[in-house]
Every structure is written in C-alpha cells, then in structure tokens.
Amino acid sequence: LHGEDQMEQSPETLRLQEGESSSSNCSYRDISFKGLHEYRQDLGKGPRFLFSLYSIGEEKQKNRLRATLLKKESSVYLNAPKPEDSATYLCAVGAQFSPGY
C-alpha cells in the first residue's frame, strides 16, 4: 500500500470446519485505485498471487474462493472449504506483489 492507501480485512481471522462456508470483506480507501489483489499464503511460505479485480461488479473465482469487487470493498467467499484450503488469505490494493518462487 502506498501513501493514502488504507486496507482493512474483516474479520481478521476465520477458523472454519470442513464444509462450513464463510465470507469476509476487504474495505479500502484509495485515491488512485489500481486494482484489488487476492493472495494465498501457506504456512511457512510467501504469498502466492490468486487474481486481481479492477472493475466494480467484477467477480473472479479460483477453486472454492470467489471474490466480487464492490465500491470501496471486495466480498470474498470461501465455499465448502476442504483441509487443503487451510491458509492465510490476503487482499491488497495497488501494484501487484510478485514474490519469487
């Protein structure tokens, strides 16, 4: 995030049982919006890019994770998670972060 960019993810932590669907929101205040980016971080590893959203109303899905970009926030929904979905999911506004693998 840069300068005036601010991002808040709520709830900050979700603990789900297998098959228990849930959602979270990423809200932002960004004067120069350049896209909202979703990442997955597995334990002991760096963040891995999933997808970006650029237009209000845009929706993307990767496996059981679906996100929709709304005005000033995104809604992220994890549908019927399985044990392999256990990870930290992050959202960010601005330039895409591309860690080396």
Per-residue pLDDT tens digits for 59-69: 999 888 899 98
Average predicted confidence (pLDDT) for the chain? 80
Give the sheet arrangement for strand 6-10, strand by strand. Answer: 6-10, 22-29, 73-78, 65-70, 59-62
Residue from 16, 25, 27 nearest 86 by CA: 16
Cβ neighbours for 66, distance < 8 A, ≥ 6 positions apart: 59, 60, 76, 77, 78, 79
The predicted pLDDT at position 31 comes to: 52
Rounded Cα distance between 23 and 78, Å, is: 6
Task: Assess whether pLDDT exceeds 50 at residue 2.
Answer: no
Residue type, 44: G
- The partner residues of 36 in beta bridges, in order of sequence, read 53, 93
Rounded Cα distance between 91 and 50, Å, is: 10
Tell me which CATH homologous superfamily contains domain 6-93: Immunoglobulins (2.60.40.10)
- pTM for this predicted structure: 0.75
Domains in the chain: boundaries? 6-93
Rounded Cα distance between 1 and 10, Å, is: 17
The predicted pLDDT at position 97 comes to: 52
The predicted pLDDT at position 98 comes to: 54
